[in-house]
Amino acid sequence: MSNPAIEIPNVLYRYGMCIDEAKFAEAAALFRHGHIALGEDVQISDPDKIEALWRSMVKTYDCGTSRTRHIITNPIIELADDALSAVVHSCWTVIQQTADFPLQMVASGRYRDEFHVIDGQWWFKEKAYLGIDLQGDMSAHLLGSV
């Protein structure tokens, strides 16, 4: 089996890169064996519905991307005793620049993610968005309000 200290953060980083590149189907595929949690009562587990949610929220540009960088930092990995699951707390910061929007930080917050091993590979079990701690101008990033 792979090294969880490398593989788990790689899944986190792959998620951010897919969102930045507007590869929403690829990002949603990371939840093939899990779900995203929107608050305490809403869970979305169908990858097609997860993809549709992101497409309805995130602006994309003529270049085919969201013109953002999700910088995911400080992953604190709490590996289960059997080394087949983990809880990870991390921070995220989104920076953005478009032709009409100067480079700037648009938001920063926290994730609480659960991971598990399926057939020797790490997958999201749950992604919980813990909220936005710092918020700037998100008008070039999101299609609606937070």
Q: What is the pLDDT of residues 66-108, one digit of tens each?
A: 999 999 999 999 999 999 999 999 999 999 999 999 999 999 9
3-state secondary structure of 66: coil
Q: Which residues of the chain have pLDDT under 70?
A: 1, 146
pTM over 0.85: yes
pLDDT of residue 2: 78
Side-by-side strand order, sheet with 42-44: 42-44, 35-38, 121-135, 101-118, 85-98, 68-79
All residues at 6 or more sequence positions from 99 whose CB lies less than 8 Å from its CB, including other chains: none
Per the prediction, the chain carries an average pLDDT of 95
The percent of residues in the chain predicted with pLDDT above 70, rounded, is: 99
